A and B are shown apart, each in its own frame.
Chain A
């Protein structure tokens, strides 16, 4: 396994009197697939949000590629090469597929039209969106000019996953990326995760689906009651062991 690309220590996040994260440590190796599992309310999504700029932790430190970083906005994470698929998907329903893929990083036209008039290269972005989708093997999105609200739940999820996969150059976080997907689309996403890994991208996957986790993950971060209960591998532990640690029936 490669060196550590991202590391967090003693992350704390509270919402009023509710403690979301209670001093979590987190390590992500370069080019690995790390699954984050845990019971409802264990702090999985909160952890992902704090690591990707959707939330700012109250306390704790984050290191990226060896140097301390402050990720206070999702744009900060993007600038580091980190992309995220949030559970809410964070897609804009009225905008079309291509606009959503490039949302917040629109490409401008070359020359005066782009520099002075700030005109977007709509055609170019659509072309690139089509290219990215077919490269990612996402066949459910044929027309990139369709507003996202006209898509099914699975197709919307595909848009969010495609956006993260297309632009995540170093780390991709996926929070329940297969929740709304059918069997075939789920397998596509799992294939996508493997492909990202093959390209040297680290992937963090939140999932409730244990067989899925054991299928793709190199290591499993087990979250319990706002803390990290342990890190195991599919080789060292069985699914039953992991569930036992998740629920506190066993120690890691």
Chain B
């Protein structure tokens, strides 16, 4: 032991420095800070769209973007924790709409339940949908893609059966359920409570993922399941908790959806499944699991919102907005591959 040269560490560091190139250093930085590239993209997009159209940076427009992003942003938060475990959830949109119909119908029908109870039951239902996905993944060992493809159809059908295809309009809803659509003024900017709730979801998740053992286990399970198991982590328990937590977040999204559209319809938010995955991917979270941070997803959702809004303000056809989002997704995944190639 005593024969070890004391300069060991410096020696190793030298070796590292010798081999690094500007590209590999950039890669290392992006690997360590996965939210960096979406942050750069967002800043550049905001600058460009602000230059193209002076209305873009108007407080009212920014407030509109925030409102447009709130629901998909919340759903994408749920999607993120599932993708971090190397899973994917195709049923998020269907589960959210199902929960929103349960909340709305229970509260709206004549002699309906008190709003708080309806909201609570909506949460229970959404968490049950998560638990079902979790059971299929942990007990039946189904690949998450297949399991949630199945439950996607089941939840869509359940929603239509339960609602009879009927939309519940805002006038029939208690104030609590549409509260998330209400605007409040903060420093001259109108913000809906829904936007604030979404931000709260992100703060809570950032804390849980970054500061608690649960979060660390989520990463470890997504990174290498077998290593996590051998390190004493109860992999199935972690996976179940992730799917159920995702369900709870989807219930919040359902609540935001009711407030934003001032109604609850069985055919709402048809694109939200893929939009949520888009936000996660653009946000730098790896679809292979174990890598990414929750703030990246918020940035990803904002990027999509900013692109759509900015392009339409610039007078670009909606089809080109979709095209732009497609290019963004491919660029984001390419960057992810390039970063991981380092290892």
Contact = CB atoms under 8 A, between A and B. Distances in A.
Interface of A: 54, 73-75, 78, 84, 86, 88-95, 99-100, 103-106, 108, 117-120, 122, 137, 139-140, 142, 147, 149-150, 184, 188, 191
B21 interface: no
B212 A103 contact: no
Contacts of B220: 92, 95, 103
A139 B223 CA distance: 26
Given A137-B1, A191-B1, 18 more contacts: A75-B232, A89-B227, A91-B231, A92-B219, A92-B227, A93-B223, A93-B290, A95-B223, A103-B232, A104-B228, A105-B232, A117-B211, A120-B213, A122-B211, A137-B4, A147-B31, A150-B28, A150-B343
Among B4, B9, B232, chain A packs the most CB atoms within 10 A around the CB of B232
A144 to B, nearest CB: 12
A45 to B, nearest CB: 12
A104 B231 contact: yes
B224 A142 contact: no
B8 to A, nearest CB: 5
Interface string B228-243: 1111111000000000
B214 interface: yes
Interface string B65-87: 00000000000000000000000
Contacts, number: 93
12 contacts: A73-B232, A88-B226, A88-B227, A89-B227, A90-B226, A91-B227, A92-B231, A95-B219, A120-B212, A137-B4, A139-B9, A142-B12
Interface in B208-267: 211-214, 216-217, 219-220, 223-224, 226-234
Contacts of B207: 117, 119
Contacts of B224: 92-93
B32 A147 contact: yes
Main secondary structure of the interface of A (DSSP, over half): loop
B234 A139 contact: no
A95 B216 contact: yes
B291 interface: yes
A46 to B, nearest CB: 14
Given A86-B230, A92-B227, A103 B1 contact: no
A229 to B, nearest CB: 28
A120 B214 CA distance: 10
A104 B233 contact: yes
B223 A120 contact: no
Contact of A139 (B8, B212, B216, B233): B8
A86 to B, nearest CB: 6
Contacts of B13: 142
Interface string B3-36: 0100011001100000000000000100110000
A219 to B, nearest CB: 25
A93 B231 contact: no
A103 B221 CA distance: 11
Contacts of B227: 88-92
Contact of B230 (A54, A99, A140, A147): A54
